[in-house]
Amino acid sequence: MFDSKANAGLKSKELTKVNDGFQTKCNADSGHYGQTLLNLIYLAVNNLKTLSLSLLTFAVLLISPPLKSQDLEWFQPGHEWYYNTYCMAGGTCGYKHYAVQGDTTVAGRTGTVLDVNILEETGEFHADILIVQAGPDTVFRYSPEADKWHMLYDMGAEVGDVWTIQEDEFLGFGENSENPDLFKVQVTEVVVEMIGGEMRRKVGAEAWSDGFEMSMYGFGFIAEGIGPVGVAHGMTGSPVDVLLPLQVPGFQCFLAGGALVYGSPEAPCAVLSTRDRAERQPMRLHPNPVRDRLFFDLTHADAEIVSARITDLSGRTVLSDQISGKIGIDVGPLPPGIYVLEVTARDNLRASEKFVKLR
């Protein structure tokens, strides 16, 4: 038999519904069905928002450039780099220039030789070489001091990674071979940017410190396929010593085949226009570097050179000569540095090449 009192007691009980932590109470006697419906709508909208955000996040991940090494080619023929040097008396007073020379085999590996030419503010000129080897993610440097290869850049690194370049063994960083300076970096940032028409990984590798010990060198940002950029002093790291110069060392430009890929178009990175480069003829210079007399010849068999002009890297003419019938020019009076020899032949053929003047 149906008990109406029992039924009434059942109606007076609270019914509880729980959905993901949200609790809805409805009293069957209260008649608050409208409030219950609003609560259910609230839950549905919140769940829809969560789903929409998840889908949006997934879409962003799909279209974002991958934060991984793109296997771009390093150290190819025609690649050049310019960096500023410290200047205490004025700006644009010195530079460091790297240029790919060719390949060599040393300590069991084949690497690429970079000519390194440094013009100091004092006018002193230094010439050196750097031997490097690029792998899929890692660039190695040959240390003549230790006669061994060591890692220089890790383009596959992630934020938080730490790599040590010099610690107990002297590899050529600093002056003290008995007590080597610490060269250890920590990855602080990884980004991907469009540089020179390519998506390139940029790894921020700053001088490492644990609060008690600190690296004497860092890199700043390293751009894939290029090397250290920004406030970098050169290809092999930057000391953390603080000076107050008028010109702070820094990356100026990266060139490929004389064309600007990344950096400033100003001196010393000024380049010929595409049309001018197309009109130029190949020319051989020797010896290069040179101390006194520089010899040259156009690869164009019938070309007869009639005049020559030498400019510095700002484009200023420092020497000119009418050289009909000659095959060389005396550059002995020029200060040490990097110059451009431009020759003109009959039929308006022109050629230009850089050369290094030694002291």
Domain ranges of the chain: 4-63, 79-263, 279-357
Q: Is the pLDDT of residue 335 over 60?
A: yes
**pLDDT at 128 (0 to 100):** 86
- Counted residue by residue, the chain has a size of 359
Q: The whole model's pTM is what?
A: 0.68
* 264, 271 Cβ separation under 8 angstroms: no
**pLDDT at 95 (0 to 100):** 84
2-16, 126-140, 298-312, 328-342: the lowest-pLDDT one: 2-16
Q: Is the pLDDT of residue 307 over 70?
A: yes
Q: What is the mean pLDDT of residues 110-124?
A: 84
* 271, 315 Cβ separation under 8 angstroms: no
**pLDDT at 154 (0 to 100):** 94
More confident residue, 31 or 17: 31
**pLDDT at 64 (0 to 100):** 45
At 72-114, the pLDDT tens digits run 789 999 999 999 877 766 555 678 899 998 899 999 999 999 9
**pLDDT at 303 (0 to 100):** 63
Q: What is the mean pLDDT of residues 143-172?
A: 94
The Cα 33–Cα 25 span in angstroms is 10
What does pLDDT average to over the chain? 77
Judge if the upstream peptide bond of residue 289 is cis by omega within 30 degrees of 0. Answer: yes
**pLDDT at 224 (0 to 100):** 94
Residue for token pair 């060198």: 217
Q: Is the pLDDT of residue 32 over 50?
A: no
* 329, 310 Cβ separation under 8 angstroms: yes
11-15, 116-120, 298-302, 311-315: the lowest-pLDDT one: 11-15
Both tokens assigned to 76:
């190819």
**pLDDT at 252 (0 to 100):** 92
More confident residue, 307 or 218: 218
- Can you name the CATH fold of 279-357? Immunoglobulin-like (2.60.40)
Q: Is the pLDDT of residue 4 over 50?
A: no
* Burial of 138 per CB tally in 10 Å (0-12, 13-18, 19+): middle
171-185, 260-274, 283-297: the lowest-pLDDT one: 260-274
The contacts found for 339-342 with CB under 8 angstroms, 24 or more apart, are: 339/310, 339/311, 339/312, 339/313, 340/310, 340/311, 340/312, 340/313, 341/283, 341/285, 341/294, 341/296, 341/308, 341/309, 341/310, 342/308, 342/309, 342/310, 342/311
**pLDDT at 354 (0 to 100):** 82
**pLDDT at 39 (0 to 100):** 58
Q: What is the mean pLDDT of residues 217-229?
A: 95
Q: Is the pLDDT of residue 164 over 50?
A: yes
Q: Is the pLDDT of residue 213 over 60?
A: yes
Q: Is the pLDDT of residue 11 over 90?
A: no
**pLDDT at 63 (0 to 100):** 45
Q: How many CB atoms lie within 10 A of CB 335?
A: 13
Q: How much of the chain exceeds pLDDT 70, in percent?
A: 69
**pLDDT at 344 (0 to 100):** 81
**pLDDT at 241 (0 to 100):** 74
Shortest CA distance to 330 belongs to which of 310, 305, 353, 304? 310
User: Most confidently modeled of 13-17, 52-56, 165-169?
Assistant: 165-169
**pLDDT at 356 (0 to 100):** 80
